[in-house]
Amino acid sequence: MPRRLANPFSSSQSAMSASEKTGERRLSSSKTNRLSQLFSSSPKSKDQAAMHQSQMSTISPSTVSLPTISLSTATGESNTVEPTTTLFKPQSAEEVERRQRVEAQFGPLLSPEHLYTSQAAGKPFERPIEDEAPYYYLLTTYLSYLALILFGHVRDFFGKRFGDRKRYQPLKIHNGFAPLNDDFDSFYTRRLKTRLDDCFARTTVGVPGRFITLKDRKSDDYNYTYRYTGTYTETLNMSSYNYLGFAQSEGPCADAVEECVKKYGATFASPRADSGTSDLALEVEREIASFVGKPDAMVFSMGYVTNSSTFPALVSKGCLIISDELNHASIRIGARLSGAVIQSFKHNDMGHLERVLREAISQGQPRTHRPWKKILLVVEGLYSMEGTMVNLPGILELKRKYKFYLFIDEAHSIGALGPHGRGVCDYYGVDTSEVDILMGTLTKSFGANGGYIAAEKHIIDKLRSTNASTIFGEAPAPSVLMQILASLKLINGDICPGQGEERLKRIAFNSRYLRLGLKRLGMIVTGHDDSPIIPVLLYNPGKMPAFSRQMLARKISVVVVGYPATPLISSRARFCVSAAHNKDDLDRMLIACDEVADLLQLKYSTGIAGGLDPLPEGVAPEDEAEWRKNTGTPIKAPRWKVEDVIRRGVVDCKLPLR
C-alpha cells in the first residue's frame, strides 16, 4: 500500500534514510574524501544540522505537502488517507527501500514555501550585470595556460623522438600514412584536457535523477586509461539536464512507457517517410504543438539532428542566417550545411544586432548587392554555458521593423522556464505566433530523447517533405514517444493534477534559491535570475579539476567546462538545478560550495552583480541607489556566512534578487 508513504513521520524517516545513505557512502568513500574531510569541517554533520534546522523552522512539512510529494498519487489510487490506520504501523523493509529509491530520483518537497513561479516580472529586459575577478586571477589564468602550452610542446618534442612509441604513433607519419590527428589540432586534447579527463565522461549507473550513481574509477597512468574499482558512489546530481525531474524509473511516466514497450516493442524500424509514422508519433506531435502554442509540430529522434537538418530545409544560397555568437554547435553545423551566408552578432546585444541587420539589408548579398531572399535570425531561449536568456521582447521589436524570420532554439528553456513551462514565450508572456519557428529538445525537461520543430501548419507540411532526417533518419522509438507524451500530460495536469505545476514551481524556486545563495557566498555567478543553469566562474584552468574533484569528494557531481566551450579565461563550473532537488539538497550544495570556495579562493565577487548585505530597516529596495548616495555607503563585496545564507534564503529569493 503506497498510501502509507504519506504518514506524518515521513520527514523524520527521510532524515533517517539520508543518514543511512551517508553511512553507506562512508563505506565506499575514497581516500581523498577522508583527507578532505580532515581539512574541512565535516560536511555531513553540517548537512544533518541544516536538515534538522529546516524541520524545526517549518510547521509539520509532511502533512502540508501530503498530496503532492508522494508519487503514489500517480498510480491513480483514491486519495483518502486514513491516518489512524497507518500512523503507527511500521513500514516493511521493502516499502522503505522502494521509497528510498523513489526519493533518490525525486526528492520530497519539504515545505510549500519552497515554490515560486518563473515569470518575467513585467519589467523591461535587463542584461545581467557581469562581475569581474581581480586582475590577479586573470593574469594567473593566462600564465597557467602559457605554462601548459610550453610544457605540452616540450613534451611533444621529446615524446615524439624518445617517448612511448604506441602513444605517439597517431601523431607521426607511419607506414606511409599521414598522421591521423594533427598534433596541432589535438594539442589541446592531449596536453590540457587529459589532465582533467577524470572529470569528464564519468560512467553512471541508474537514473540521473536527484542523485546519480557513479561507477568509481581510477587511473594509474595519468588519465590515459581507467580501471573500475568495483565500487559505486551515490552523488547529488547537479549535472544532468533533468530540469523537471522526469528522469525516473517509477511513477506514471515509467508505467506508461512500460505498457508502451509491451505493446509496441522497441522500435518502428523505419524512417518517418517510409513506414515509421505511427498513431503514437502523430499524437505526440499534436500534444507538443498545443503545449508550445503552435498549430503543428514534428518530432525527431535526436535533438542535434533537428537543428542540423532543418536549416538546410529552410534556407539556401542567397539567404542570410544571423546567429548569436554563443549558439550551439548543432545550429552552426546546420547553418553551414544550408549554404546560406552566416553572420553572427554579439551575445544578446540588440544594438549590435540592429547594426548587423541594417547593414545586411541595405548592402544586400556580398558582391552582387542583390537583396537577400530571406533573413533568418537564430537565437537560443536559454544559453547553456552562460545561463542567460534571450532578449525576446527586444528581438520582436526589431522583427517588426526588419521583417526577418525568427527561429528560437528552446533546447534548455522548454519546460524549464515560464509559469506553464512553455519556454521563453511563456516566460515573457509573448504570443507564440510572433515567433516563426520554435525548436526544442525532448532530452532535457521531458526525460526522453530527440527534438521537435513547431510552426505554422504549412511550414511543417513543407518541412515533412524536405527535411532530410524525416526522410532518411530513424523514427523516434515508441518508448521515447510515450515518455514525451506522459510527461507532457503530467505538466499540463491531464494526469496527476497538481504534480506538473509543483514541478514547475519547484525548479523556479530552486534556481533562484541556489543562485542567490552562491552570490551571497561571494562567488561570481553568470546568467539570469530565473535560469536553472547556474555557471560559477573559476578562471584558472587548474581550478576546474580541483573543483570537480573536491565536489566529488563531497558526493556532489558537477560539470566543469573550459576552453574551447567557453572563452579562454572564463573556465566555469555549471550547476543544473532540477525540480527533483529539495531545499536540503541545495543547502548541502551551498555548504559544499562554501568550503570548496574557501579552499580554492573562489570568492572574488565585488557585489555589483548581487548578493549584497540586507538593507537597513526602512529602506525599500527601490530606494537603494538613493540611500547609498545619501549615506555614502559603498557596495561591499558579499561574503556571507553559509548559515545566514540558508537562514534567509527562502524569503529573500522570492523578492527581486539584489
Partner 1 sequence: MEFDTLQVRFGEIAHVVSSNFQKLPGSAMLARYIQSSYQNDPVRSAIELILVLFFIRYLMSPSYSTHKQNFVKLREGEIEELIDEWTPEPLVADQTLIEEIENEKLPVIVGPTGPKVKLSNGRTAINLASYNFYNFNANDQIKEKAIQTLRTYGVGPCGPPQFYGTQDVHEKAEADISSFLGTEACIVYAQTFSTVSSVIPSFCKRGDVIIADAAANYSIRKGLQISRSNIRWFKHGDMGDLEKVMKSVVNEQAKSGKLTRRFVVTEGLFETTGDVTDLPRLVELKEKYKFRIILDETWSFGVLGRTGRGLTEAQNVDPQQVDMIIGSLSGPLCAGGGFCAGSKDVIVHQRITSSAYTYSAALPAMLAMTASESVKLLQSNPDVLVQCRENIRALRAQLDPRSDWVVCTSSLDNPILLLALKPEVIKARRLTVDDQEKILMECVEESLANGVMITRLKTRPYANAMGAKDGDWTLQPSLKVCVTSALSKKDIEKAGITIRHAITKIMTRKSANKTI
Interface residue with partner 1 among 426, 436, 595, 652 (CB under 8 A) is: 436
Distance (Å, whole) CA 349 – CA 359: 16
Count Cα neighbours of 471 within 13 Å in the Cβ-side half-sphere.
Answer: 10
Q: Does 447 bind partner 1 (CB under 8 A)?
A: yes
Cell reading at 284: 505526440
CB of 486 to partner 1, least distance (A): 10
- Among residues 194, 218, 195, the alpha carbon closest in space to that of 31 is found at 218
| Contact characters 17-56, partner 1, x per CB under 8 A | ----------------------------------------
- Asked if residues 261 and 420 have their Cβ atoms less than 8 Å apart, the reply is no
- Asked if residues 128 and 528 have their Cβ atoms less than 8 Å apart, the reply is yes
Q: Does 196 bind partner 1 (CB under 8 A)?
A: no
CB of 19 to partner 1, least distance (A): 25
Tell me how crowded residue 431 is: count the other CB atoms within 10 A of its CB: 9
CB of 158 to partner 1, least distance (A): 21
Nearer to partner 1, 387 or 473 (CB): 473
Question: How big is the chain by its Cα radius of gyration, in Å?
Answer: 26
Q: Does 477 bind partner 1 (CB under 8 A)?
A: yes
Count Cα neighbours of 4 within 13 Å in the Cβ-side half-sphere.
Answer: 17
Interface residue with partner 1 among 40, 55, 233, 237 (CB under 8 A) is: 237
Q: Does 341 bind partner 1 (CB under 8 A)?
A: no
Q: Which of residues 585-644 bind partner 1 (CB under 8 A)?
A: none
Give the interface segment with partner 1, choosing from 40-48, 461-469, 589-597, 618-626 (CB under 8 A): 461-469
Cell reading at 594: 562554501
CB of 349 to partner 1, least distance (A): 18
Give the helix/strand (H/E) hosting 215. strand 211-218
Interface residue with partner 1 among 345, 372, 547, 604 (CB under 8 A) is: 372
Nearer to partner 1, 122 or 366 (CB): 366
CB of 332 to partner 1, least distance (A): 9
Which residues are within 8 A (CB) of 516 and not within 5 positions of it... i.e. 6 or more apart? 610, 611, 649, 652, 653, 657
Give the interface segment with partner 1, choosing from 114-122, 194-202, 517-525, 632-640 (CB under 8 A): 194-202
- Asked if residues 390 and 380 have their Cβ atoms less than 8 Å apart, the reply is yes
Nearer to partner 1, 175 or 631 (CB): 175
Q: Which of residues 134-173 bind partner 1 (CB under 8 A)?
A: 169-170, 173
φ and ψ at residue 48, rounded to 5 degrees: -70, -35
Which residues are within 8 A (CB) of 4 and not within 5 positions of it... i.e. 6 or more apart? 86, 89, 91, 95
- Asked if residues 500 and 490 have their Cβ atoms less than 8 Å apart, the reply is yes
Task: Tell me how many residues contact partner 1 (CB under 8 A).
Answer: 126
Distance (Å, whole) CA 424 – CA 429: 8
CB of 161 to partner 1, least distance (A): 19
- Among residues 586, 526, 234, 545, the alpha carbon closest in space to that of 388 is found at 526
Nearer to partner 1, 73 or 237 (CB): 237
Q: Does 74 bind partner 1 (CB under 8 A)?
A: no
Q: Does 181 bind partner 1 (CB under 8 A)?
A: yes
Q: Does 400 bind partner 1 (CB under 8 A)?
A: no
Interface residue with partner 1 among 434, 461, 494, 626 (CB under 8 A) is: 461
Nearer to partner 1, 24 or 461 (CB): 461
Residue position matching grid coordinates 527586444: 394
CB of 475 to partner 1, least distance (A): 9
Give the interface segment with partner 1, choosing from 146-154, 363-371, 419-427, 608-616 (CB under 8 A): 363-371
Q: Which of residues 202-221 bind partner 1 (CB under 8 A)?
A: 202-209, 212, 214-215
Interface residue with partner 1 among 36, 68, 73, 330 (CB under 8 A) is: 330
φ and ψ at residue 192, rounded to 5 degrees: -110, -50
Nearer to partner 1, 133 or 477 (CB): 477
- Among residues 284, 343, 295, 296, the alpha carbon closest in space to that of 319 is found at 343
Distance (Å, whole) CA 566 – CA 387: 13
Q: Which of residues 263-322 bind partner 1 (CB under 8 A)?
A: 263-270, 273-279, 282, 301-305, 308, 312-314, 316
Count Cα neighbours of 235 within 13 Å in the Cβ-side half-sphere.
Answer: 31
Q: Does 98 bind partner 1 (CB under 8 A)?
A: no
461: helix, strand or coil: helix
CB of 617 to partner 1, least distance (A): 40
Q: Which of residues 527-566 bind partner 1 (CB under 8 A)?
A: 557, 559
Opening angle at CA 383, ends 441 and 325, nearest 5:
115
Distance (Å, whole) CA 414 – CA 395: 19
Give the helix/strand (H/E) hosting 188. none
CB of 536 to partner 1, least distance (A): 16
Interface residue with partner 1 among 58, 70, 144, 469 (CB under 8 A) is: 469
The residue count of the chain comes to 658
CB of 8 to partner 1, least distance (A): 30
